[in-house]
Structure 1
Amino acid sequence: MAKIDRGRWTANLDEHDGVVLFLIGMRINKPWRIDHWLWMFAAMGGMLTHLAKHPERGMIKARNWFGRTTMQVGYWRSVEDLMRFAADDDAPHRPAWRRFYQRLAKSGSVGIWHETYVVAPGSAESVYVNMPAFGLAEATEKVRVTRRTGSAKQRLGAPAY
């Protein structure tokens, strides 16, 4: 079980050049077509294993949520690291991407999606109360909320009311 950090915490992005938030997932449109979507779970597992073994690739952390629509929340050091991984023929993403588009994209049995956000210092805020390390704080640095960082406005650098 994860260690619960009691009290209020936030992410410290000041010591980082920022991070890239990468959301990716799929939606199973035809659940009976197991042959169309099961291999995609395995392919994503292979990508995560590869990235865990190669931290120099730039993925900092990832968490997954599963259901008919799946989602992975991933944090990367930079957009360049993310794009380099996605385009690398020797990394596991590119072959899986090709397989999907060559064999499944037209079938409609599975949908895929992603969103990419560049998170610069001062452009995001977070708070975690009685939580284990999570989200931005897990990917960067988790610090206690102080008087200076007590509100969302303060954490974003805006004047407090």
Structure 2
Amino acid sequence: MQPIIDGRTTVESDRDTVTVFLIGMRINNPLAVRSWLPAVRAMPRMLSHLEQDPTSGLLGYHSWLGRTTMLVSYWRNAEDLTRFASDPDAPHAPAWRAFNRSVAATGHVGVWHETYTATAQDSEAIYVNMPTFGLAGAIGGIPVGTGSHTWKQRMKSAK
């Protein structure tokens, strides 16, 4: 378990942008284990593959499990994410083909994703008494200090 960082921290980065990718699935029929188990097992393989390749562009991620699962991941850019998703030798492409071939039409499992690219000036973050988490975990956190006490100060585009 990561230690809690006392007080307030935020994110400061020399990055121009970061791509945030949310992906998840929902088990619509809990009894249809043969439908949803392959989808559940696919994500750890993908993450392991990405973590082993420092050039993948994956900066960090957090996941939540339940009937509806969600993974929030941070990427260097959208191009890196697209390259991984379309790479026939990476674990995503075969898992996606298998899902579409044998599970999608059953309705037993729902899948979704959302992708956002944010500039440093159009984003901000605050963490209070938290372990390293979220964007700070992906690109680094710093203590809140002069010029970063309010969301408006942290979000450079706010006027």
Query: 2: distance between equivalents of 1:57 and 1:17?
Result: 18
Sequence identity, in percent? 49
Residue 40 of structure 1 deviates from its aligned partner by 1.1
Aligned to 1:7: 7
Query: 2: distance between equivalents of 1:71 and 1:154?
Result: 30
Give the SS at the match of 1:148: coil
**Residue 17 in structure 1 maps to residue 23 in structure 2:** no
Deviations 1:23-65 (A, max 9, x none): 0000000000000011111111100110111121111111110
Aligned to 2:27: 28
Residue 140 of structure 1 deviates from its aligned partner by 1.1
Unaligned 5+ runs, structure 2:
none
Give the SS at the match of 1:149: coil
Query: 1: distance between equivalents of 2:85 and 2:49?
Result: 13
Aligned to 2:118: 119
Q: Which amino acid aligns with 2:57?
A: G
Query: 2: distance between equivalents of 1:92 and 1:70?
Result: 19
Aligned to 1:85: 84
Residue 124 of structure 1 deviates from its aligned partner by 0.8
Normalised to the residue count of structure 2, the TM-score between the two structures is 0.96
Residue 12 of structure 1 deviates from its aligned partner by 1.0
Aligned to 2:67: 68
Normalised to the residue count of structure 1, the TM-score between the two structures is 0.95
Give the SS at the match of 2:42: helix
Segments ≥4 residues shifted beyond 4 Å: none
Unaligned 5+ runs, structure 1:
none
Q: Which amino acid aligns with 1:31?
A: P
**Residue 132 in structure 1 maps to residue 131 in structure 2:** yes
Give the SS at the match of 1:56: coil
Query: 2: distance between equivalents of 1:37 and 1:87?
Result: 22
Residue 147 of structure 1 deviates from its aligned partner by 2.8
Residue 17 of structure 1 deviates from its aligned partner by 2.2
Query: 1: distance between equivalents of 2:153 and 2:56?
Result: 33
Query: 2: distance between equivalents of 1:139 and 1:63?
Result: 10
In the comparison of the two structures, how many residue pairs are matched?
158
